[in-house]
């Protein structure tokens, strides 16, 4: 298992789903973890309590990723609490299901504000405070590469944008010894997209393994990418999709 003892991590949107699984995994590997949440204070508190019960250290910070000031403050609070930031996981994200004719400009702007602008701000602020060996991972989506359904154009566009951002930032930060990667989940069993939910019927036939993934499957890859063992992996977009995009 990766050894993250002494490291400090910030996981945006870490109060539930994939973000919660990532926060718990990094804590179990030895990192001190800060998570952000927008509305689900109770769920965020439970993640913190679960980490503490397992012997780890974590804090929850209220921060809407569409608010640049709140994102900046979350990075500052992480450094203030732990004295450093070594790992940033940009997990916070939203999606709006609508055809291109139906999509409102307000929803379009909100999707890009959270998924792209918030990611940029978090990376910029964390990078200013990271030392050599820092790790940045953004949770993207296989839909950045393939969108085999309607109503997802803008979501796919935001995830393609963060994949491109990752490649460029990897060039900027590589000379400083900081790696930057994107993890692209496929169908994962979460509250937003349950394995028995309305999208399962269309998603399951595309899965080579025949079933939805678990949040822990995504967390495992993130844990590897932020470890010292992944020092030569940067600028990559890595799928965790059960063969969905194969």
- pLDDT tens-digit series, residues 85-96: 999 999 999 999
The per-residue pLDDT for 129 is 98
How far is Cα 39 from Cα 13, in angstroms, rounded to an integer?
10
Told to judge if 155 belongs to the known catalytic residues of this protein, a careful annotator would answer: yes
DSSP at 99: -
Residues 6+ apart with CB under 8 A from 99: 150, 151, 153
- Whether the per-residue pLDDT at 2 is higher than 90: the answer is no
How far is Cα 188 from Cα 18, in angstroms, rounded to an integer?
8
Cβ proximity of 91 and 14 under 8 Å: yes
pLDDT tens, position by position, 12-29: 999 999 999 999 999 999
The per-residue pLDDT for 168 is 98
The per-residue pLDDT for 193 is 87
The per-residue pLDDT for 66 is 97
Select which of 155, 212, 224, 232 is catalytic.
Answer: 155
Place of tokens 């993934």: 213
Average pLDDT, the chain: 96
Distance of CA 66 to the CA centre of its chain: 15
Q: Pick the residue with more confidence: 198 or 165?
A: 165
Task: Tell me the pTM.
Answer: 0.97
Domains of the chain: 8-239 (3.40.50.720)
């Amino acid at each position: 298992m990766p050894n993250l003892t002494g490291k400090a991590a910030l996981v945006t949107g870490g109060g539930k789903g994939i973000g919660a699984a990532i926060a718990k995994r990094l804590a179990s590997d030895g990192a001190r973890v800060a998570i952000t949440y927008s509305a689900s204070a109770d769920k965020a508190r439970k993640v913190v309590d679960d980490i503490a019960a397992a012997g780890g250290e974590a804090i929850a910070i209220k921060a809407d990723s569409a608010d640049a000031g709140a994102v900046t403050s979350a990075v500052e609070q992480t450094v203030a609490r732990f004295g450093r930031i070594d790992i940033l996981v940009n997990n916070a994200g939203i999606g709006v299901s609508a055809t291109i004719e139906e999509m409102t400009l307000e929803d379009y702007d909100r999707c890009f504000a959270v998924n792209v602008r918030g990611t940029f701000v978090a990376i910029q602020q964390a990078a200013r405070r990271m030392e050599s060996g820092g790790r940045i991972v953004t949770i993207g989506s296989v839909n950045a590469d393939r969108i085999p359904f309607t109503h997802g154009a803008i979501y796919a566009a935001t995830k393609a944008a963060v994949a491109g951002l990752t490649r460029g930032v990897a060039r900027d930060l590589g000379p400083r010894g900081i790696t930057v990667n994107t993890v692209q989940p496929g169908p994962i069993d979460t509250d937003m997209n349950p394995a028995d939910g309305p999208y399962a019927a269309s998603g399951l036939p595309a899965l080579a393994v025949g079933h939805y993934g678990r949040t822990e499957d995504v967390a495992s890859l993130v844990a590897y990418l932020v470890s010292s063992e992944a020092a030569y992996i940067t600028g990559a977009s890595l799928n965790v999709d059960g063969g969905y995009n194969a």
